[in-house]
Amino acid sequence: MTPTARVTAQAKVNLLLRVLAREVSGYHTIETIFLRLDLGDDVRVRVDAGRTLDCAGPAMPSGGLGPVEQNLAYRAAATYADATGWPNGFAIEIEKKIPVGGGLGGGSADAGAVLRALDALAPNPLGARLVELAAPLGADVPFMTLQSPMALAWGRGERMLVAPPLAAQPVLLAIPDFGVAASDAYSWLSADRPEHSPATRILRPESLASWASLAALAENDLEAAVGRRHGLIAELVDEIRAGGALIAMMSGSGSTVFGVFSAHGAFGARAAAPKVAEIPPRAGVTTILTSTSERVVRVELEQ
């Protein structure tokens, strides 16, 4: 039988995103808190003679995902194969459920899932060294290789402190029908804020220990700059906050806005439904009710 691995590539939101110094390379260093969601793409990887990628599913954009060789999942597999000399070829199948281009890290999640799947199949697994392969692929990808639902990350996403999981809470995603290019978001921020930005707060491990402490520090440096160019994003944040969310903010560079709601005891996504129903529907905005994740979905091997 052909060796095959399956895993769910879980979406993420950023509970904190601070944009720090700009390096000579043109990239900004960041400080962020990543949090996995239960929403995820289904990823299947098998060892094969060639190198292929097939994507389908309800979240596939009408125009497709562009050239296969530029897809992060394909690049992740090629990086693994080129770095380790194994496998000679691979076949990747992805069922897209995470909206594309909304700041939920779907492409990065797929890349991280492919790296984890290949490592589970490999005769000589890399283990913790997967982060080294993931870092050049993008700031979100190293986190997506971890076996942790939440982590504090800094630098360019490759330096991380794993945080203990918190009790799952309902999450409302409000996804406008337009995306925001990360390069645009960072350019807008540079244009809007003073040359010398204020000093950042020092984060302590206890800040990640409860939802109340996370709510106290939740912020996204890109949100105001993006909101000035896309007023709908600022309006969605206000509406979700008014709907009773513990945390309401934009994820990553946008355009998705999310709200974390209190589960009020026994968890169930329906617990948030009454408050979510108070948020008025909008044309051009898709809403998804999911939850934060208390665990990372493990890779399953097929014989």
Query: What mean pLDDT comes out for the span 101-107?
Result: 91
Q: What is the number of other CB atoms lying within 10 angstroms of the CB of residue 270?
A: 11
Q: What is the pLDDT of residue 25?
A: 58
Query: What mean pLDDT comes out for the span 277-299?
Result: 85
Of 115 and 30, the structure prediction assigns the larger pLDDT to 115
265 pLDDT band, cuts 50/70/90, is very low
- Determine which one of 12, 96, 97, 275 is catalytic: 12
Q: What is the pLDDT of residue 21?
A: 63
pTM exceeds 0.75, yes or no: yes
Which range has the worst mean pLDDT, 20-24, 76-80, 140-144, 254-258?
Answer: 20-24
Query: What mean pLDDT comes out for the span 42-47?
Result: 97
Q: What is the pLDDT of residue 154?
A: 82
The string over 63-101, giving b where at least 16 C-beta atoms fall within 10 Å of a residue's C-beta and e elsewhere, is: eebeebeebbbbbbbebbbeebeebeebbbbbbbbbbbb
Instruction: List all residues 6 or more positions away from 235 whose beta carbon is below 8 Å from its beta carbon.
Output: none
Is residue 91 within 8 Å of residue 83, measured between CB atoms?
no
Chain region(s) in the chain for CATH 3.30.230.10: 4-162
Instruction: Please state, rounded to an integer, the average pLDDT across all residues of the chain.
Output: 88
Chain region(s) in the chain for CATH 3.30.70.890: 170-291
96 catalytically annotated: no
Task: Please tell me the CATH code under which domain 4-162 is placed.
Answer: 3.30.230.10
Which residue do the tokens 């009408």 mark? Answer: 62
177 catalytically annotated: no
Helix runs in the chain, H state only: 72-84, 106-121, 130-134, 141-144, 182-192, 211-217, 221-229, 231-242, 273-277
Q: Does position 27 have pLDDT exceeding 70, yes or no?
A: no
What's domain 170-291's superfamily in CATH?
GHMP kinase, C-terminal domain (3.30.70.890)
**CA 47/CA 279 separation, integer angstroms:** 46
**Could you tell me the CA-to-CA distances from 83 to 12, 78, 123, 133, 299 in Å, in that order?**
27, 8, 14, 8, 21
Which range has the worst mean pLDDT, 36-40, 139-143, 235-239, 272-276?
Answer: 272-276
Of 5-14, 180-189, 208-217, 240-249, which has the strongest mean pLDDT? Answer: 5-14
* Amino acid at position 224, single letter: A
Of 136 and 280, the structure prediction assigns the larger pLDDT to 136
**CA 211/CA 300 separation, integer angstroms:** 31
Which residue do the tokens 């206000």 mark? Answer: 238
Q: Does position 158 have pLDDT exceeding 70, yes or no?
A: yes
**CA 228/CA 64 separation, integer angstroms:** 29
Share of the chain above pLDDT 90, in %: 63
Q: Does position 197 have pLDDT exceeding 70, yes or no?
A: no
Q: What is the pLDDT of residue 62?
A: 81
Q: What is the number of other CB atoms lying within 10 angstroms of the CB of residue 237?
A: 21
Q: Does position 36 have pLDDT exceeding 60, yes or no?
A: yes
43 pLDDT band, cuts 50/70/90, is very high
166 pLDDT band, cuts 50/70/90, is very high
**CA 185/CA 224 separation, integer angstroms:** 10
**CA 98/CA 102 separation, integer angstroms:** 9
Q: Does position 221 have pLDDT exceeding 50, yes or no?
A: yes
- Determine which one of 38, 42, 110, 140 is catalytic: 140
Query: What mean pLDDT comes out for the span 216-242?
Result: 93
Q: What is the pLDDT of residue 30?
A: 80
Query: What mean pLDDT comes out for the span 123-132?
Result: 94
What value does the CA radius of gyration of the chain take, rounded to a whole number of Å?
19
Instruction: Look up residue 132 and give its two tokens.
Output: 């080294």
Q: What is the number of other CB atoms lying within 10 angstroms of the CB of residue 121?
A: 20
Query: What mean pLDDT comes out for the span 162-182?
Result: 91
Of 211 and 30, the structure prediction assigns the larger pLDDT to 211
Instruction: Look up residue 197 and give its two tokens.
Output: 């930005």
Q: What is the pLDDT of residue 269?
A: 47
Q: What is the pLDDT of residue 267?
A: 38
Q: What is the pLDDT of residue 200?
A: 58
